[in-house]
A and B are shown apart, each in its own frame.
Chain A
Amino acid sequence: QKEVEQNSGPLSVPEGAIASLNCTYSDRVSQSFFWYRQYSGKSPELIMSIYSNGDKEDGRFTAQLNKASQYVSLLIRDSQPSDSATYLCAVIRDNNNDMRFGAGTRLTVKP
């Protein structure tokens, strides 16, 4: 079992729709969770960090964390073509500082 798993996609949504990206992790002692966006040929860009169970909202983005289910998700409301990118889920385990990444989900927002 991979430490961090994501659906590879591609996920395609129409402009203005809600895009839902999911991630599961295997290590129960994980404490810090991140979503990065990576455009083709570019480096990852931090979108959200979340540390506690529940929802965290930042503009059009909402991260959701459920530690009991070992599940973290990212919702993108009012999706725009400029949101088309690969979204990487990353996890830092307790007492450790190396981030473990999923393989990423490729999102396409169609005009």
Chain B
Amino acid sequence: ETGVTQSPTHLIKTRGQQVTLRCSSQSGHNTVSWYQQALGQGPQFIFQYYREEENGRGNFPPRFSGLQFPNYSSELNVNALELDDSALYLCASSLLLRGGEPQYFGPGTRLTVL
């Protein structure tokens, strides 16, 4: 069984640029959620994708967008990067049945915005 993978591991961008982060879900899972974790804080929910549709969104601006593909992998896109976007970006996959199922995290992408 393959776990959740993310790429790249680290990324450095400058303010105003755009970035795309990628995630492959654990085999057998149908849902991908994205989180932002600032230093010393718990992860903050960005959005979730289920069957290629957005299935919930946290308090993040529209410049944070995503996609889910038929193989359940996913992308997180962030436009017009700001310094405060520097964080660890986590992808988590789960098998959504009735709701409330546990989510399993990938290793994360560390984004630094200069």
B33 contacts A99, C-beta separation under 8 Å? yes
Contact count A vs B, C-beta below 8 Å: 67
Give the docked Cα–Cα distance between A90 and B100 (Å). 11
Give the docked Cα–Cα distance between A44 and B26 (Å). 15
Partner of A97, one of B88, B99, B104, B107: B99
Interface size class of A (residues with CB under 8 A): 20 to 34
Is B61 on the interface with A (CB-CB < 8 A)?
no
CB-CB contacts below 8 Å: B15-43 with A: 31, 33, 35, 40-43
Q: Give every chain A residue within 8 A of B42 (Cβ-Cβ).
A: 4, 88, 90, 101-104
Instruction: Say how far B45's CB is from chain A's closest CB, in angstroms.
Output: 4
A99 contacts B99, C-beta separation under 8 Å? no
- Chain B residues engaging chain A, CB cutoff 8 angstroms: 31, 33, 35, 40-45, 48, 50, 55-56, 58, 88, 90, 92, 96, 99-108
- Chain A residues engaging chain B, CB cutoff 8 angstroms: 4, 31-32, 34, 36, 42-46, 49, 51, 88, 90, 92, 94-104
